[in-house]
């Protein structure tokens, strides 16, 4: 497969955004996809940086970059490029009819599926919490048979948080979905894609949802990257809806993946599904082609430049083996202690970053992989997103933010 300007390995947020920005510059781009990775598992929101190294909440994410570790991907990208990347991403969402809200100078807090709050930067309109600030009454809405969202628990914890400032109640509605089994948020969202589902959901809320209330719901307001379901329900009930963050699989993440995939195809990006990249051929310090292994045979994809965007340990882009961490395609060196006991803190959930999470491919400010002497290893390869070393996205809440910032920088420098 020849004549590509760029081959992107991975179709998560960083891979798709790199492809879109490059295609927008007139590049011929092919994306090699072996599934959607963690994008459809994640929450579909964009964390810039939520907590600093001392586990303290960050108020101004952009300003926090002044204190960032020099090995952090944001330090490689720079404040100006990171800010421009977020603004460009917002423009894409607006143009695609699924606008995200927020800015890089202020974190916002969104409700979770247990009634706590988490910091993030950009959110879809379904997760806009501005209405919560002035609301006097909040209704938490659950669905009978729905796994991983318990309205009573959410309401209890929110009431403890708000105290006398707000009245928080809950209701569980029964939808004709269970058929004797548990259901997921995706099941409910697919049902609410239909007029029948929207009508039944609204009818069963009318008795408890008073006009002016804010209704906190699990992420179930349709599967499509638009706000038709949100608008229909808000207009019909004269209430404001706020989706919570939830455990995987994520409907909001699926919407984001769908939007980005559709946008890439509009720009002429060639997306090859079920294409597992197993090796790369490098000559004279440059990658000539990568090879995929599919159901039928191996294929070679040639390009002038390559982007490694296939994720970290969770996404399969890095492999943990006995006594070492491995990047399996190019064989980039991943420094790691031979004693794996040192890879993690004693407590999985702690106030310190995990060493295994900090592992990844070391790069220079051009996002080109380098060795221990900071010499470029493969000059026409750039690494973006979770494959990069130097940050614990889970601890600091920076996953999709790093994906966007590094993708944008990589694409602009092609």
pLDDT confidence tier of residue 43, bands split at 50, 70 and 90? confident
pLDDT tens track for 15-40:
999 999 999 999 999 999 997 777 88
**Those residues with Cβ within 8 angstroms of residue 80's Cβ, 6 or more apart along the chain or in another chain:** none
Distance CA(170)–CA(190), nearest Å, equals: 23
Query: How far is 301 from 3, CA to CA, in rounded Å?
Result: 9
pLDDT computed for residue 339 by the predictor: 80
Which residues lie across from 6 on neighbouring strands? 29, 305
User: In angstroms, how far is CA 297 from the centroid of its own chain?
Assistant: 32
Give mean pLDDT, residues 141-149. 92
Mean of the per-residue pLDDT values for the chain? 93
Question: What are the CA-CA distances from residue 296 to residues 84, 299, 362 (Å)?
Answer: 42, 10, 34
Q: Would the pLDDT of 1 be above 70?
A: no
Lowest pLDDT segment from 43-57, 107-121, 337-351, 372-386: 337-351
- Mean pLDDT within 331-356: 83
CA dihedral 322, 323, 324, 325 (to 10 degrees): 60
Pairing between β-strand 276-283 and β-strand 286-293 as defined by DSSP bridges: antiparallel
pLDDT of residue 65: 95
* 276 bridge partner residues: 293
Asked whether the beta carbons of 325 and 336 are under 8 A apart, the reply is: yes
SS3 305: strand
Give the pLDDT confidence of 53-92 residue by residue, as tens digits.
999 999 999 999 999 999 999 999 999 999 999 999 999 9
Kindly give the interhelix angle for 251-266 and 13-24, rounded to the nearest 10 degrees: 20
Q: Residues of the chain with pLDDT > 70: what percent?
A: 99
Instruction: Determine the pLDDT at residue 156.
Output: 97
pLDDT in tens, 199-211: 999 999 999 999 9
The predicted model gives 325-336 an average pLDDT of 90
User: Is 387 in contact with 308 (CB distance < 8 Å)?
Assistant: yes
pLDDT at 154 over 70: yes
Q: Is the pLDDT of residue 180 over 90?
A: no
């Amino acid at each position: 497969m020849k004549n590509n300007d760029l081959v992107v390995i991975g179709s998560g947020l960083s891979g798709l955004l790199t492809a879109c920005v490059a295609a927008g510059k007139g590049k011929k781009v092919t994306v090699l996809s072996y599934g959607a990775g963690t994008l459809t598992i994640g929450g579909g929101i964009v964390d810039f940086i939520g907590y600093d190294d001392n586990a303290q909440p960050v108020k101004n994410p952009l300003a926090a970059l002044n204190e960032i570790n020099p090995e952090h991907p944001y330090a490689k990208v720079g404040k100006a490029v990171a800010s421009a990347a977020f603004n460009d991403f917002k423009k894409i969402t607006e143009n695609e009819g699924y606008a995200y809200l927020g800015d890089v100078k202020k974190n916002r807090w969104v409700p979770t599926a247990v009634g706590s709050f988490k910091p993030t930067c950009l959110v879809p309109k379904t997760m806009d919490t501005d209405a919560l600030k002035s609301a006097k009454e909040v209704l938490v809405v659950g669905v009978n048979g729905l796994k991983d969202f318990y309205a009573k628990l959410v309401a209890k914890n929110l009431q403890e948080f708000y105290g006398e400032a707000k009245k928080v109640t809950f209701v569980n509605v029964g939808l004709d979905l269970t058929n004797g089994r548990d259901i997921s948020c995706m099941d409910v969202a697919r049902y609410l894609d239909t007029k029948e589902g929207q009508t039944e959901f609204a009818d069963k809320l009318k008795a408890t949802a008073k006009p002016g209330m804010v209704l906190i719901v699990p992420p179930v307001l349709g599967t499509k990257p638009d706000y038709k379901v949100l608008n229909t329900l808000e207009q019909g009930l004269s209430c404001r809806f706020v989706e919570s963050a939830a455990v995987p699989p994520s409907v909001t993440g699926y919407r984001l993946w769908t939007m980005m995939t559709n946008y890439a195809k509009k720009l002429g990006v060639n997306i090859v599904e079920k294409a597992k990249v197993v090796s790369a051929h490098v000559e004279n310090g440059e990658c000539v082609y990568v090879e995929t292994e599919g159901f039928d045979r191996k294929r070679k994809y040639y390009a002038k430049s390559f982007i490694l965007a296939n994720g970290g340990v969770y996404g399969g882009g890095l492999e943990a083996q006995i006594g070492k961490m491995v990047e399996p395609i190019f064989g980039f060196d991943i420094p790691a202690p031979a004693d794996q006991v040192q890879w993690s803190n004693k407590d999985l959930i702690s106030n310190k970053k995990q060493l295994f999470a900090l592992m990844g491919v070391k790069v220079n400010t051009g996002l080109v992989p380098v060795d221990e002497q900071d010499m470029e290893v493969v000059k026409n390869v750039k690494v973006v997103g979770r494959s990069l070393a130097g940050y614990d996205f889970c601890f600091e809440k920076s996953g999709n933010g790093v994906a966007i910032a590094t993708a944008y920088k990589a694409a602009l420098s092609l």
